[in-house]
Amino acid sequence: MHETEGIHPILQNLNECPACQLIVGYLDQVHPRFGRFMHHGYARELSMNDKPLVLIADDDPDMINQMKLVFKPVMDQVQLIVAINGLEAVRKCSSEKPNLLLLDHGMPGLDGFTACQMIRNMNPDHDMDIWFITGLVAEDDMPLAMEVGADCLIQKPINIPHLRHMLVTHLGLEIPEDASSVIDLTDDDDEASDAA
């Protein structure tokens, strides 16, 4: 398969998903920061002893478990914390200062858009990336996500191998060579659950 011109090689498999193509193409045009990540890759600068802190904000326990599977091969390289609603996400972003927030949109009480805007307003100097992991597909929602401060938008249901590659690249992590069996097992489990 030929590489798509200008797209980071590790993300080539996203082109197999039409919905991903739509979202990636749109964000690449309107959001320079996301475009820089897509074209050149991005690894946060951390000291040798630091581990990136990732906050997963979702009210669905199954989705939280899926996100933990995404990180399973690199769990020794990251710190994961969880929020089960938008208000808790706002509080933890203020107190814990995560490097990356993986944020659901459709949470009860405080929705993801409002939470994202509050987080950006409350922490203007904090260099944190916010990725929406959501079932949103409407084009009208994409500009709003960018307006409230999102850096990336990933459509549910998630593709665990593709999202893992995006996150590993973004955070500057490495998948251990002996983790292939773990990756295969988690991916097979997800495919089976999707087919059910």
Ordered structural domains, the chain, with CATH: 11-195 (3.40.50.2300)
| Whether this model's pTM surpasses 0.75 | no
- Angstrom CA distances, 43 to 24, 68, 112, 123, stand at 19, 20, 25, 21
Q: What is the pLDDT of residue 28?
A: 52
Contact 53, 99 (CB under 8 A): yes
Length of the chain: 196
Q: What is the pLDDT of residue 48?
A: 44
Counting residues of the chain whose pLDDT is more than 90, the rounded percentage is 47
Lowest mean pLDDT among 117-121, 132-136, 156-160, 184-188: 184-188
Mean pLDDT of the chain: 75
DSSP codes joined into one string, the chain: -PPPTTS-GGGGGGGG-HHHHHHHHHHHHH-HHHHHHHHH-------TT---EEEEE-S-HHHHHHHHHHHGGGGGG-EEEEESSHHHHHHHHHHH--SEEEE-S--SSS-HHHHHHHHHHH-TT---EEEEEE----TTHHHHHHHTT-SEEEESSP-HHHHHHHHHHHHT----GGGHHHHHHHHHHHHHHHH-
Q: What is the pLDDT of residue 123?
A: 81
pLDDT of 102 strictly over 70: yes
Contact 4, 15 (CB under 8 A): yes
Express each pLDDT in 74-97 by its tens digit.
Answer: 999 999 999 999 999 999 999 999
Express each pLDDT in 34-86 by its tens digit.
Answer: 444 444 344 444 444 589 999 999 999 999 999 999 999 999 999 999 999 99
